[in-house]
Homo-oligomer: A and B are copies of this chain.
Amino acid sequence: MAVNDRIILGIDPGTIVMGYGLIHIKNNVVKPIGIGVIKLDKLDDHGLRLKMIFERMIAIIDEYKPDELAIEAPFFGKNVQSMLKLGRAQGVAIAAALSKNIPFTEYSPRKIKMSITGSGNSSKEQVAAMLVQILGIEKEQKFLDATDALGAALCHYYQNKNTGTKTKSYTGWKAFLTDNPKRKI
Report which A residues bind B (CB closer than 8 A): 39, 42-48, 50-51, 54-55, 58, 75-96, 98-99, 104, 106, 169-174, 176, 183, 185
* 6 pairs from A and B in contact (CB 8 Å cutoff): A45-B170, A47-B172, A47-B173, A58-B99, A80-B83, A92-B94
In the bound complex, how far is the Cα of B183 from the Cα of A82, in angstroms? Answer: 11
Indicate whether A45 sits within 8 Å of B171 (C-beta atoms), given known contacts A76-B81, A80-B77, A84-B77: yes
Q: Could you say how many copies of this chain the assembly holds?
A: 2
Indicate whether A51 sits within 8 Å of B173 (C-beta atoms), given known contacts A76-B80, A76-B81, A84-B83: yes
Task: Kindly name the residue among A79, A88, A90, A92 whose own CB sees the greatest number of chain B CB atoms within 10 A.
Answer: A88
In the bound complex, how far is the Cα of B122 from the Cα of A168, in angstroms? Answer: 44
In the bound complex, how far is the Cα of B173 from the Cα of A87, in angstroms? Answer: 14
